[in-house]
Structure 1
């Protein structure tokens, strides 16, 4: 079986990865607000349906919809794996987020890009140089320092908080499987076509469990956050899928590991403006130093030259 090869346009891959980091970084806050008025299944169904509709219209206007010939040649098993595992990631992450905080969720979900990066090395025969392996060590140390207090909370947590953390870990594992399957699907279709099919399949999977009428009872803020979550899905995952077209999975995953920094900064800003709406996490000097190491480690892995 032929494996997907990146286009080599690493600057474009880096820019798309950074856009994904920004959008995924602020997403947990919007989801937390949305979950105050909707159940996780309806939120997930709406996000997939909105993404499918918007992406379908965009591809149709550009005459880039997948042809019947390409669809017939598509490996259905691989498409099924990508769709089911992305659907599982969405609902497990939302269920976990309902029981824990946005910051803690982003700590644990970082297993996803790490696992995808290791999978890219193993499956797609990508290689790390010594500098990149050093960057991985710096990245690991940075996270250990940056999330020191959150990890202490996790270890001593009881009840629903711990259950929510467990769901986030499972969500990270299934996302890594999705990411690798998504990259291989690029061998047959463009990133836009692949995501269109996955969005459509996932929307159908969640349709029987959704309660669309509940959307009418949302407050203006909750409705705005729901729409933002839908737009976030189509733009962020579109950028992510396209970044895999131009860059190695291991390097994309390295950049994505900086997402929690965006989340914690966003949480702090929202908490400063609306103190009663969300819980923030106080950073110590050690945490600030750890965040610097995370950025340095991510960029070292992402930009380190290959032999």
Structure 2
């Protein structure tokens, strides 16, 4: 497809904004509904929308191929289901800006798995990126290091959020393997339907009736967010370089912090302001810089490849 940089940037920005705003809305719904039920609705809405889209395009995955990759698909489903559940659950303990800072552990986990499983090379820029990630996280939690000394509400939330990012790597690796036979949309369709099946026994459908009008609006946004985020992401990749799209998407944690401040200013009775000091903001910026360096650092240091 012909490159369309402006449209590619706009779609990538929509993706980052969608993923950045998700946990803020999600936290409001979690006060009334449990994580399993919310996740079930999100997967069902996304699966049905993708089903109609692929059916309309006549690009539904072939049953024969699905059977051949059945065991791999199951592993991917468990990874994605675990990611959604763990991340949603973490918001019961910590604020969105803290939960979201760990999102880049997924991409770095993919890098490490790529080296270990696919024997890929790890560039110098990626090693520096990992170092910046660790430094940034240390600065981000500069005033809360002591809270990690034992199991408490804060450390529980962090553990759940980190686990969500690391579990996603399982799904990411499965997707990488399945892309040899299926399109990314076909893979997502299989994953969404599989995840919906996983959460069906755990979902309490009556909880929706307890939602207030405000919480219901947040719930609807959470359900549509998967479509908006992943749909915009797919369109961005169709129109722009993968590395450039990745750079914009790395801004997700900064958008979460930014939107948290805006939401608190508009409606302080519903939304809390991020409890971060100036060093924490610097740490968040360094984490994002590390992710950006990993995404496009090879263009800055093209000759430095280290196995």
TM-score, length basis structure 1: 0.82
Deviation at 1:86, TM superposition (A): 0.9
Deviation at 1:27, TM superposition (A): 0.9
CA distance in 1, matches of 2:174, 2:244: 16
Does the aligned pair in 2 maintain the 1:52–1:196 contact within 8 Å?
A: yes
Pairing 1:89–2:80 present: no
CA distance in 2, matches of 1:161, 1:53: 36
Q: Counterpart in 1 of 2:34?
A: 39
Does the aligned pair in 1 maintain the 2:60–2:186 contact within 8 Å?
A: yes
Q: Counterpart in 1 of 2:61?
A: 66
CA distance in 2, matches of 1:278, 1:97: 13
CA distance in 2, matches of 1:16, 1:78: 30
More off after superposition, 78-87 vs 215-224: 215-224
- The one of 49, 54, 73 aligned to 1:54: 49
SS in 1 for 2:60: coil
CA distance in 1, matches of 2:134, 2:213: 41
More off after superposition, 170-179 vs 75-84: 170-179
Does the aligned pair in 2 maintain the 1:191–1:238 contact within 8 Å?
A: no
Q: Counterpart in 2 of 1:217?
A: 210
Deviation at 1:17, TM superposition (A): 5.9
Q: 1:288 to 1:103 in 2, by over 3 A?
A: closer
CA distance in 2, matches of 1:96, 1:296: 25
Pairing 1:112–2:106 present: yes
- The one of 283, 286, 289 aligned to 1:290: 283
The 4+ residue runs of structure 1 with deviation greater than 4 A are 11-19, 238-248, 250-257
CA distance in 1, matches of 2:157, 2:280: 23
Does the aligned pair in 1 maintain the 2:26–2:218 contact within 8 Å?
A: yes
Corresponding pairs, count: 297
TM-score, length basis structure 2: 0.82
Q: 1:241 to 1:144 in 2, by over 3 A?
A: farther
Q: Counterpart in 1 of 2:155?
A: 162
Deviation at 1:109, TM superposition (A): 4.4
Does the aligned pair in 1 maintain the 2:253–2:284 contact within 8 Å?
A: no
SS in 2 for 1:98: coil
Structure 2 unaligned regions, length at least 5: none
Give CA deviations for 1:73-112 in whole Å, capped at 9, x if unaligned. Answer: x411110000011111111222221122212212344433
Q: Counterpart in 2 of 1:152?
A: 145
Pairing 1:196–2:189 present: yes
Give CA deviations for 1:6-32 in whole Å, capped at 9, x if unaligned. Answer: x9x9x7998876554332211110110
Deviation at 1:128, TM superposition (A): 3.8
CA distance in 1, matches of 2:154, 2:34: 18
Deviation at 1:192, TM superposition (A): 0.5
